[in-house]
A and B are shown apart, each in its own frame.
Chain A
Amino acid sequence: MSGRLGGLINAILSRALAVYASLALMYLLLPIVTIAIFSFNDPVGRSNYAWAGFTFDNWLTLFRDPTLVKAVGTSLRIALVSTLIATTIGTLMAMALVRYRFRFRKAIDLFVFLPLATPEIVLGASLLTLFVTLQIPLGEVTLILAHVMFNVSYVVVTMKARLSGFDMRLEEAAADLGATPWQTFWRVTFPLILPGIGASAILAFGLSLDDFVITRFNAGQVQTFPVYVYLKVQKGIPPQVNAFATLFFMATVTLVALGALLQRRRATLKQ
């Protein structure tokens, strides 16, 4: 009897877990799904907040507003460049922090963490002060500098976690087999930490593409995608913005899925 009762309780509990998990997922996905749905809206007037009818128009006229297209281009360019720089610097910093004991290592560890903990608005404002003081004209260069600054922190934190599990004996084995430090890095270390580098880069790219607060302070006349959206709030955000946002989301999902697929294929190959 108690066995049957226990089975019943287990069945209910596992059902409850499924419901709970679905709710949690919905909570995460609902805003994104809303954005995607409204990219197919045929809004009445300028504001795209009320559902008025289904249309493909927004996708077909994706490139109609040259200001929007330019903003998207700027955002992608800044994201790409700052990701490349931040991932390279961040990976090397993480390697140094994980592997070597040197003066001020603990301090650097802390400083790297600071941009993550500092409110963005403070970072943005103080960067602006810095650039103005140094008389560096605001524009894409200052934006890239700013994005590299906060992205480096994310990359270092991610890569440190990945690297601390790295088996140093593998590098010793490579050296033992006659590989120079350079060969050891490119043939052993790099391929093994590549998944971590990829994950860091995707994170950095997303953060850069998405950043508004720091960007708003240091952009000068340059308009990035988030800045464009912000400026349009008053007049009504065109539905093409939803289409672009959906595109970005799909691109990220595709990238992450591709990475996961690649890793899984490798894993099954090795099992």
Chain B
Amino acid sequence: MKIRLNDVVKTFDTFRAVHGVSLEIESGELVALLGPSGSGKTTILRMVAGLEYADHGHIYFGDEDATDIPVRDRGVGFVFQHYALFPHMTVAENIAFGMKVSKVKRTPEAIRDRVEELLALVQLSGLGERFPGQISGGQRQRVALARALAVDPRVLLLDEPFGALDANVRRDLRRWLRKIHDELGITTLFVTHDQEEALDLADRVVILDKGNIVQEGTPEEVCRAPQNAFVMKFLGDANALPATVRDGKAYVQDIAFDAPDLKDGPADLLFRPADVSWRESGDGVPAQILRVLDRPDSRRVLARTTGGQSIEFDTAPEFPHKKGEQGFLDIRRPRVYATT
């Protein structure tokens, strides 16, 4: 089911959480809404679900205007960050809940068979008689997903689905969710503030800031061509150096970088820690090493330019230089954005 948001606005009391957002999610697509807290991503998800009503604008499911359809008739599966499992029901009863309260009557046998099928899908066969308090967090989240899928929703909505889990479980569940999505082909929208999760899982990433969409595209598009400094910084570690643009060149301490299509004036030069090499002499921004941190597969070097800016960059584990040494930073793939 294709979802379309057309100029959707939501205001809470005096705080405008979502400013005129328009967005299209193709049928069968897996899309991530990515943004820091307060960016409006959860509000958008809740409006698609019908748990909040839009103050302005329309939400379409396929060709149908779903803006005013109440949540219980909207046919969405919703998974909450903290699972929201019914604590007084067993796992099987939780999964069966939607089928039991449905207007479509099913026989107890049909419900039982469907529950077994879903338990198998989420790899929890045999745990149907447990209560939510008796299973782990990762298992609970899988039960929550099975419960959402039980009513054959038109779209699946997940609000920070892995946010409450520890890192290893989170990575496993992420890959597993992708697999389930590919098997079922259900249109899925999920909210996260974790850029790694969004890039790992989604066909398309929608990046939000302060209630507006800043950029949307495939993981490759947003990673390779961040549209502004916010996206660049939000997607991963980034160094920033103040620069001045003159005639299509950005100058950092007299070193020139290409900056076509940019007006003359102050700008920021952004680059990733992996895109820096250390040189003892030659071209580059002069800097001094402050600290060297060891990582399992690399070394991270903290340095300060002679202009006083802090820079971090990654090197091979064999990096021989030590605290206090002077040298030059060779910056690759820099991106220049006009200072706003």
A binds B: no
Residues of B within 8 A of A (CB): none
